[in-house]
Chain A
Amino acid sequence: MSTDSQQNAHQSPILEFKSSTFSVPVLILAGNDVMTIEQQLQEKTQQAPEFFKNSPLVFDLQELNKLELGIDVTELTHVIRKLGLLPIGIRGGSAQQNRQALDLGIPIHSGHIARDGVYAANQPGTGAASTAATPKQQAPEPEPEPELEQVSEPEPPAVTVNTTIITLPVRSGQRIYAAGDLIIVAQVSAGAEIMAEGNIHIYGPLRGRALAGVQGNTEARIFCTDLQAELISIAGNYKVSEDLNSAAHIRPVQIYLQNHALVIKDI
């Protein structure tokens, strides 16, 4: 009997590859002073220590390179790791920065994918593909072409707003990430988590967590017909259930950011 099962164990494969999508925060840098970055990043992480603790992170150097500000990737990585975040990718870096990242075991994500509004930087498949493609990107040494392309085309994402519509209940334990706006025409159960880079609309009770503007869009709003949430957040500013006024129950409300504070208002 035991030999039988051992044989079975040899025959059946114990691994497989699957493609799946993850949501990972992206750190977009607009200045190259590592000291200031460290200081501001620390402030940010302290606002939601649980959220950021050991969180994977992709850093985006596209803006920086557009402004022709160089940055030492090794130093940056050191600072990020020191604050308890785990960098898992670089986006929009120069050839030299990409090489530095690779030396540190950080894969390179090609920035142009974000243009489609699809949050693909975290797909393992894409990551592997772009890593494999780096030698080619490195060939034209002074200003690699693919990056020029990224720099010249940041406009389209703002135009093509990507809306995700969910019609089935979002159950406890489920997570939904939308690269643009998120519309849910069902309930969101306690223990569920919905996240969007844009606005969130919920036509039904919201009992789980809703995080809008997760990439830092402070203009994002949450609209909800029945607010019973565990947590609501816009661009990292959050309130937990305890701080929410239970009066909002069964009344349509909108939530937006005003002077870094969440405002809940009847519609």
Chain B
Amino acid sequence: MARIIVVTSGKGGVGKTTTSAAIAMGLAKRGHKTAVIDFDVGLRNLDLIMGCERRVVYDFVNVINGEATLNQALIRDKNCNQLYILPASQTRDKDALSQEGVGKILDELKKDFKYIVCDSPAGIEKGAHLAMYFADDAFIVTNPEVSSVRDSDRMLGILSSKSRRAEQNEEPIKEYLLLSRYSPDRVKLGEMLSVDDVQEILSLHLLGVIPESKSVLNASNSGMPVILDEKSDAGQAYADIVARYLGENRPHRFIDDKQGLFGKLFGRK
């Protein structure tokens, strides 16, 4: 059975697109056929992070409007042949998306793909609503600061009341917490909420902590999902997250200041 994963947060700039790209690449690298969809119509970014912006011909909105087939619009990733990207349209806005149209595309993708990752736009309006509506699993990306945590909480409320699963009284969406841009040093200084603080407020299953890392910016600039940078702490954090999502038991890292084996070998980035 295909599973639809929404990567969402409520707040902007917390790392949704970075996470979508990394998770989709991670799942594909492990041999699962994966599609990643950019729901941020009008503020198209995923293709940049995935490094395929120069190969975009048709987009999500074209497919919804029947101006292109899904196969014409899907872009195969250069690094992994199990991964496909469905870019957003840059010239339209969120109103170009319809629930019916999105549902149809997801149904079609489900026949062919194992995982479908939906990169949600910020906010709680139409784009974000449609990105999460059909989801089976939700990755809530949160930064360790109060406004991000509260927005995530709001989004969790929406997931549990406005999604298709909620409306049809099915088993609720599985929710996972991804704490990004985490800096143990700043937690120690009291400048940042700790993992425990965030979990106390959200009471949510922690899938992983992604440390604040230069490698994320480098990866974005070079159009390579950060998970491909196996030496970087953020890349390893995402690899752990994918493994945990697939049911592997891996101890949490990057929560404490202590340098692990990798840290000693390569130094912190």
Which residues of A line the B interface, CB within 8 A? 1, 4-5, 8, 12, 168-174, 186-187, 189-192, 205, 207
Which residues of B line the A interface, CB within 8 A? 65-67, 96, 98, 100, 150-151, 153-154, 156-158, 160-161, 172, 200-201, 203
Contact, CB under 8 Å: A1 / B67: yes
Q: Provide the residues of chain B in CB contact with A170, threshold 8 Å.
A: 157
Q: Provide the residues of chain A in CB contact with B66, threshold 8 Å.
A: 4
28 A–B contacts, CB within 8 A, in A order: A1-B65, A1-B67, A4-B67, A8-B65, A12-B98, A12-B100, A168-B172, A169-B156, A170-B157, A171-B154, A171-B157, A171-B158, A172-B151, A172-B153, A172-B157, A173-B154, A173-B158, A174-B157, A186-B203, A187-B203, A189-B150, A189-B157, A189-B201, A190-B201, A191-B150, A191-B153, A192-B157, A205-B200
| Nearest B residue to A189, CB-CB | B153
Q: With A and B bound together, what is the CA distance between A117 and B66 in angstroms?
A: 50
Q: Provide the residues of chain A in CB contact with B160, threshold 8 Å.
A: 168, 171
| Nearest B residue to A5, CB-CB | B65
Q: Provide the residues of chain B in CB contact with A1, threshold 8 Å.
A: 65, 67
Q: With A and B bound together, what is the CA distance between A168 and B151 in angstroms?
A: 18
Most buried by B among A4, A189, A191, A207: A189
Q: Provide the residues of chain A in CB contact with B157, threshold 8 Å.
A: 170-174, 189, 192
Q: State the Cβ distance, B90 to closest chain A Cβ, in Å.
A: 15
Contact, CB under 8 Å: A171 / B153: yes
Q: State the Cβ distance, A130 to closest chain B Cβ, in Å.
A: 27
Q: With A and B bound together, what is the CA distance between A190 and B151 in angstroms?
A: 10
Picked from B151, B161, B201, the residue with its CB within 8 Å of the CB of A174 is B161
Chain A facing B: main interface SS: loop
Most buried by B among A5, A168, A171, A174: A171
Known: A12-B98, A12-B100, A189-B201. Is A172-B154 also a contact (CB below 8 A)? yes
Q: With A and B bound together, what is the CA distance between A205 and B100 in angstroms?
A: 39
Chain B facing A: main interface SS: helix
Q: State the Cβ distance, B89 to closest chain A Cβ, in Å.
A: 12
Q: State the Cβ distance, B221 to closest chain A Cβ, in Å.
A: 34
Q: With A and B bound together, what is the CA distance between A171 and B172 in angstroms?
A: 15
Q: A172-B150, A189-B157, A191-B150 are in contact. List 17 more A-B contacts (CB 8 A).
A: A4-B65, A4-B66, A4-B67, A8-B65, A12-B98, A168-B160, A168-B172, A169-B203, A171-B153, A171-B158, A172-B154, A172-B157, A173-B153, A186-B203, A191-B153, A191-B154, A192-B157
Q: With A and B bound together, what is the CA distance between A169 and B150 in angstroms?
A: 14
Known: A168-B160, A172-B157. Is A190-B150 also a contact (CB below 8 A)? yes
Q: With A and B bound together, what is the CA distance between A43 and B141 in angstroms?
A: 47
Contact, CB under 8 Å: A190 / B153: yes
Closest 6 interchain pairs by CB? Answer: A171-B157, A172-B153, A172-B154, A174-B157, A173-B154, A189-B153
Q: With A and B bound together, what is the CA distance between A172 and B172 in angstroms?
A: 18
Q: Provide the residues of chain B in CB contact with A186, threshold 8 Å.
A: 203
Q: With A and B bound together, what is the CA distance between A5 and B67 in angstroms?
A: 10
| Nearest B residue to A187, CB-CB | B203
Q: Provide the residues of chain B in CB contact with A168, threshold 8 Å.
A: 160, 172
Q: With A and B bound together, what is the CA distance between A173 and B203 in angstroms?
A: 16
Q: With A and B bound together, what is the CA distance between A171 and B65 in angstroms?
A: 35
Q: Provide the residues of chain B in CB contact with A172, threshold 8 Å.
A: 150-151, 153-154, 157
| Nearest A residue to B201, CB-CB | A189
Q: With A and B bound together, what is the CA distance between A5 and B65 in angstroms?
A: 7
Q: With A and B bound together, what is the CA distance between A5 and B98 in angstroms?
A: 12
| Nearest A residue to B98, CB-CB | A12
Q: State the Cβ distance, A8 to closest chain B Cβ, in Å.
A: 7
Q: Provide the residues of chain B in CB contact with A174, threshold 8 Å.
A: 157, 161
Contact, CB under 8 Å: B203 / A171: no
Picked from A4, A8, A171, A207, the residue with its CB within 8 Å of the CB of B156 is A171
Q: State the Cβ distance, A164 to closest chain B Cβ, in Å.
A: 15
Q: With A and B bound together, what is the CA distance between A91 and B66 in angstroms?
A: 52
| Nearest A residue to B100, CB-CB | A12
Q: With A and B bound together, what is the CA distance between A205 and B96 in angstroms?
A: 41
Q: Provide the residues of chain B in CB contact with A169, threshold 8 Å.
A: 156, 203
Q: Provide the residues of chain B in CB contact with A8, threshold 8 Å.
A: 65
